[in-house]
């Protein structure tokens, strides 16, 4: 039986459900902007909220919405790996989400465009079944009044086909044009589109993105996803100079490549940075360099402040080296990182550590170097 588009299915559902969605003051749905995309093309899904009431509504928005798979589940599609800089314990830095709100006009609508293939590997032709779910409160601007508790559960299908010669470049051209737009929202969306799953021909456009609040983070992420020698060199440059705000995503993008060839570069980046960017660089250096990172980490211990102790604890654990066990045992005496050191020792040795008992060195874990 031929499947109807999600929007048609939604309309049919409304027509036969007069006491449910049709009479709700505020209703929402997810649907793809097209039913067919090219493999490698950004797949855009709209989140639409319709306000049937006579009151202006407000929907909360957060810059952490893009972390993880978001509202989507895709049958038969693997989620992309995210190489976190820590191997155990709590991350010693916090992720702050900026939260704001967007108005939904009375008798109007709100639409947010989302990318489906950012968190998922959709690199083969075929038809993919997608489910999108979310739940949140819709309030009134500058008020504690709640207009509705919006729960959305949409299902639709997206078909991907292999591109013919030149088709994919043509599909990307509007995004290449929009990264030069004066409107910051258009620039930001276009930068996200070309960096989430970048084809090789996008490298020049990504390298040309400005290192600013609009496209700086997307530039680092795109270069990391490309992972070419030229892209890695630009990440090293970006991670070594300029604002800490944009050094951090460059360090993360370079670290997630886990390329052993960048060991010395990451150690150098750590030595050139301070505060949280220094700590994150050394965490990734532990993962990339393994035992080679130990001497540099040991040199930092005598003069480390409280936050750096946290980063170093994770960095030692990331080395997966027996040589990391003595300094981790020493860190058990530091109340600020004791629990992280205990977890690190347990991970490295498969043994629970009791404070003051340095018996972990006897482990013969084959994973350690």
At 229 the pLDDT is 96
Whether 64 shows a pLDDT value over 70: the answer reads no
Q: Residues 215, 309: one domain?
A: yes
CATH number reported for the structural domain that contains residue 98 in this entry: 2.60.40.10
Whether 49 shows a pLDDT value over 80: the answer reads yes
At 259 the pLDDT is 96
pLDDT band at 368 (very low <50, low <70, confident <90, very high): low
- Rounded to an integer, what distance in angstroms lies between the CA atom of residue 174 and that of residue 172? 6
Whether 89 shows a pLDDT value over 90: the answer reads no
| pLDDT tens, position by position, 186-210 | 999 999 999 999 999 999 999 999 9
The answer to whether the beta carbons of residues 276 and 244 sit under 8 Å apart is yes
| pLDDT tens, position by position, 92-121 | 444 444 567 899 999 999 999 999 988 888
Q: Residues 174, 156: one domain?
A: no
Which of 138, 161, 184 lies at the terminal end of a domain, its last residue?
161
Domain count, the chain: 2
Query: Taking the CB of residue 3, how many other CB atoms lie within 10 A of it?
Result: 12
Whether 306 shows a pLDDT value over 70: the answer reads yes
Average pLDDT score over the chain: 85
Whether 179 shows a pLDDT value over 90: the answer reads yes
Q: Residues 150, 279: one domain?
A: no
At 62 the pLDDT is 66
Rounded to two decimals, the pTM is 0.81
Whether 231 shows a pLDDT value over 90: the answer reads yes
Which of 127, 161, 195 lies at the terminal end of a domain, its last residue?
161
Whether 338 shows a pLDDT value over 80: the answer reads yes
pLDDT band at 7 (very low <50, low <70, confident <90, very high): very low
Q: Average pLDDT in the 117-130 region?
A: 91
Residue 124 located in a structural domain: yes
Q: Residues 128, 183: one domain?
A: no
Residue 369 located in a structural domain: no
- Structural domain containing residue 18: 6-161
Whether 38 shows a pLDDT value over 90: the answer reads yes
Q: Average pLDDT in the 244-256 region?
A: 95
| pLDDT tens, position by position, 135-174 | 999 999 988 889 899 999 999 999 999 999 999 999 999 9
| pLDDT tens, position by position, 137-148 | 999 998 888 989
At 24 the pLDDT is 74
At 300 the pLDDT is 96
Q: Residues 157, 173: one domain?
A: no
Whether 66 shows a pLDDT value over 70: the answer reads no
């Amino acid at each position: 039986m031929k499947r109807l588009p999600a929007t048609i299915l939604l309309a049919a559902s409304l027509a036969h459900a007069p006491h449910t969605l049709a009479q709700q003051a505020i209703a929402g749905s997810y649907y793809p902007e097209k039913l067919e995309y090219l493999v490698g093309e950004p797949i855009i899904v709209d989140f639409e909220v319709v306000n049937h009431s006579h009151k202006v509504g407000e929907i909360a928005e957060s810059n952490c919405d893009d972390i993880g798979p978001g509202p989507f589940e895709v049958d038969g599609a693997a989620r992309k790996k995210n190489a976190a800089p820590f191997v155990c314990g709590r991350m010693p830095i916090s992720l702050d989400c900026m939260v704001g709100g967007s108005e939904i006009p009375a008798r109007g609508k709100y639409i947010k465009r989302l990318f489906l293939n950012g968190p998922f590997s959709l690199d083969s032709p075929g038809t993919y079944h997608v489910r999108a779910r979310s739940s949140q409160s819709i309030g009134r601007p500058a008020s504690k009044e709640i207009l509705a508790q919006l729960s959305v559960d949409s299902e639709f299908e997206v078909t991907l086909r292999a591109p013919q010669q030149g088709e994919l470049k043509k599909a990307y051209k509007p995004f290449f044009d929009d990264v030069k737009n004066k409107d910051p929202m258009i620039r930001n969306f276009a930068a996200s589109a070309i960096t989430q799953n970048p084809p090789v021909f996008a490298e020049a456009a990504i390298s040309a993105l400005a290192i600013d609040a609009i496209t700086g983070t997307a530039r680092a992420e795109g270069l990391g996803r490309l992972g070419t020698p030229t892209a890695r060199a630009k990440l090293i440059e970006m991670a070594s100079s300029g604002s800490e705000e944009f050094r951090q995503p460059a360090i993360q993008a370079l670290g997630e490549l886990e390329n052993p060839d960048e060991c010395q570069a990451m150690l150098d980046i750590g030595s050139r940075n301070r505060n949280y960017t220094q700590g994150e660089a050394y965490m990734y250096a532990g993962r990339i360099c393994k035992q080679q990172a130990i001497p540099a980490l040991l040199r930092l211990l005598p003069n480390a402040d409280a936050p750096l102790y946290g980063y170093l604890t994770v960095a030692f654990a990331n080395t997966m080296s027996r040589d990391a066990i003595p300094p981790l045992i020493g860190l058990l005496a530091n109340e600020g990182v004791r629990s992280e050191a205990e977890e690190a020792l347990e991970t490295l040795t498969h043994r629970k550590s009791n404070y003051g008992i340095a018996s972990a060195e006897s482990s013969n874990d084959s994973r350690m170097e």
